[in-house]
Every structure is written in structure tokens, then in C-alpha cells.
Amino acid sequence: IKNRGVQQPLLVVPETDGAYRVIDGGTRLEAARLEGLAEVPVLVLAPTTGALDLELATHMANEMRRDFTAAERAQFYLRVMAE
């Protein structure tokens, strides 16, 4: 980040107060702040994005970073299918 900036956009959703909630990229945002960057690339989800879609986006981003057990995956997808 110090040399190239943030390469992968953060995923955010607008809040009703005009702020943005980070769905994916919180660590990148913190690292950018520590390096003194005033701007980072973001992808803004529509404000009408439903809670389930936000949960799915968060889960997919997390799945790329950590090893989920088969039980954790199954529990998540069962919850998605039920809604």
C-alpha cells in the first residue's frame, strides 16, 4: 500500500447518515489510513441492497480469506436457501 496504494477496491454500502459501511476491505482501509492515503478505490453497493445480499457479499469475501469448515459453509448456505 505504501508503494502502490490500495489495488483491490473496498466494498461499501451507503448508510442513511451519508457515511459508508465497509462490507469488505476493512483491513485495507486501515492500512491506507496508516499510510496517510486520503482516498481508496471502492465499489458502492446500491442502498436498496437487502440484508441477505449484504450477508452473502460479506460471506463470499470472507471465504476467499479464511478456511471455512464444511459445517460452516453448509450452515450459511442453508440459511441463504431458507430466505
Q: What is the DSSP string of 36-80?
A: T-S---EEEPPTT--HHHHHHHHHHHHHHHS---HHHHHHHHHHH
- CA 56 from chain centre, in angstroms, equals 10
Q: What confidence tens digit (pLDDT) does each residue in 36-45 have?
A: 999 999 989 8
- Output the tens digit of pLDDT for each of the chain's 83 residues: 888 889 889 989 888 899 998 988 888 999 999 999 999 999 898 776 677 777 777 766 766 656 777 787 788 778 777 76
Of the candidates 24, 26, 27, 20, which has an alpha carbon nearest to the alpha carbon of residue 11?
Answer: 24
What is the structure's pLDDT at 50? 74
